[in-house]
Amino acid sequence: MRILLLILALLLLAPSAHAQRTEARLLLQSSLVAGLRHHQAKAVWDHLHVGDELNLVREPHNLHDPNAVRIEWQGHMLGYLPRTDNEAVARQLDRGNKLRARIEGIGKYRNHRRRLELAIYLPL
């Protein structure tokens, strides 16, 4: 019985192979991507998948929003972080922090417009 408990304890305490491959990260925010219908999202929509990496590109000289953060997938511009959600992310990017993003959800609204949710995090 002792040996069985010892083996069980070792299995619970030992890091799994999956845990070793996963990076530690701090979730900063989840947001919807704004402006999907105005950019290249429609052209690549069927190729997007939950978990795909996204690029956050700072646009400090954007005439419409000085805190603009562009969202790209494999070189295709999908849209922007909404103005209501971009100030803290813009500030962190301006400071040189290497923020990362990935697709958290893909869907459509009732009116059939596309909906793309992303998570922004800081690798630790």
Q: What is the pLDDT of residue 12?
A: 58
Detail the DSSP E strand segments found in the chain: 25-32, 53-58, 69-73, 76-80, 100-108, 114-123
Determine the residue type at 14. A
Domain boundaries, the chain: 23-123
| Closest among 93, 121, 122, 118 to 106, alpha carbons compared | 118
C-alpha span between 99 and 54 (Å, rounded)? 10
Residues 6-58 pLDDT 10s? 555 555 555 554 545 567 888 999 999 999 989 999 899 999 999 999 999 99
* Integer Cα distance of 39 and 42 in angstroms: 8
**114 or 80, greater pLDDT:** 80
pTM: 0.77
Query: Hey, which CATH number is domain 23-123, 3.30.70.2330, 3.40.228.10, 3.30.930.10, 3.60.20.10?
Result: 3.30.70.2330
